[in-house]
Amino acid sequence: MINRIIQHFRLNVLSINEVEDSYSSTVYKCNLLNGENVFIKIPYTKLKGQRELEAYNLLKGKVSVPEMLNYWSGDEEFSGAFLLSELKGGPLTSAVSTSVAFQVGEIHASIHTLKPSAVNKLNTIQNEFPNWSAFIENQFYSFTEDVKEVLPTILYKKSLDKYEEMKLQLPVPDGPSFIHMDFRPANILVDDNKVSGVIDFESVRFGSTEIDFTKLYRDFLSFNPALYKAYREGYNSIRPLIDLEIVLPFYQFTDAFNSIGWCKRRGMEKNALFLKENLVRLQNLLR
């Protein structure tokens, strides 16, 4: 498949390596004979590919993202492919300065300032905000049959009760805003103490910002109070940040539950470490 895509894009490739930490789509880094690096992304489904294509068009000139160099819509056998320019740097880590955390807040808030447009209608990026509660509920219950096969019966029933209890405590949703839905360190690139951009837009929606802080807090903000403070200041410099202490517990819980279901669907052996992490998170949140 990758050889066919390389031929389609007419690339002179010196070497090619699959990118780690890409949980859904398949991504390859290609070193070209002219010394440049480009990325080939093969979406998991055609829908995800079309959604990401619309996202790049929407974000261009507003948020730092890779340049879309070429696109193949695919065929009956393949879901298509993107050819993307390289954003310099590597994934965000907790070893960065408070200046970087501030910039992460800025770019996250900039994403959230984008609103649905009645003029420029989109085909695959849905506006879930008008029925936000139903959207979250559908997401949660869509994974119940998968999770049921993984969790002990008592823990599974306790999880359903916990969800019903916690959803009643949520505030009025904040939005409608453009939300990344997978805003985590692996999708935020940093180069020389500067955030160079954001990648991976196959899950984007318009909805409530409250869901979009979960993975960033889980994998970055929770480790260092100084970075968390700087992030909040950066975000507030663009738009007001909601009270995360109110919404995070609910979304941390649903993220852990849904991630267990995701691992069941995508392969428990292949995703054993991620499954174990979320089982621990869910048990801790249920205590």
CATH superfamily of 91-286: Aminoglycoside phosphotransferase (APH), C-terminal lobe (3.90.1200.10)
- The candidate with the shortest Cα–Cα distance to 258, out of 201, 185, 200, 182, is 182
Q: State the Cα–Cα distance between residues 130 and 252, nearest whole angstrom.
A: 23
Query: Which pLDDT does position 119 carry in this prediction?
Result: 61
CA distances from 32 to 5, 8, 69 (A): 14, 15, 14
Query: Which pLDDT does position 25 carry in this prediction?
Result: 80
Q: Is the dihedral of CA 222, 224, 228, 231 positive or negative?
A: negative
Name the segment(s) of the chain with CATH classification 3.90.1200.10: 91-286
Q: State the Cα–Cα distance between residues 159 and 72, nearest whole angstrom.
A: 42
Buried b (16+ CB within 10 A) or exposed e, 37-53: ebbbbbbeeeebbbbbb
A 10 A CB-CB count for 236 gives 13
Q: State the Cα–Cα distance between residues 18 and 5, nearest whole angstrom.
A: 14
Query: Which pLDDT does position 118 carry in this prediction?
Result: 66
Question: Long-range contacts: 27-34, Cβ < 8 Å, 24+?
Answer: 28/2, 29/86, 30/6
Q: Please give the model's pTM, rounded to 2 decimal places.
A: 0.90
Q: Which amino acid is at 65?
A: V
Residue 72, φ and ψ in degrees, nearest 5 = -120, 125
pLDDT in tens, 59-70: 999 999 999 999
pLDDT in tens, 183-199: 999 999 999 999 999 99
Name the segment(s) of the chain with CATH classification 3.30.200.20: 2-86
Query: Which pLDDT does position 226 carry in this prediction?
Result: 97
Evaluate whether the domain defined by 2-86 bears CATH number 3.30.200.20. yes
A 10 A CB-CB count for 184 gives 19
A 10 A CB-CB count for 171 gives 11
Query: Which pLDDT does position 23 carry in this prediction?
Result: 65
Q: State the Cα–Cα distance between residues 103 and 238, nearest whole angstrom.
A: 11
**Are 51 and 202 in contact, with CB atoms under 8 Å apart?**
yes
Query: Which pLDDT does position 99 carry in this prediction?
Result: 97
pLDDT in tens, 222-273: 999 999 999 999 999 999 999 999 999 999 999 999 999 999 998 999 889 9
A 10 A CB-CB count for 268 gives 15
Residue stretches of the chain with pLDDT short of 70: 22-24, 118-119
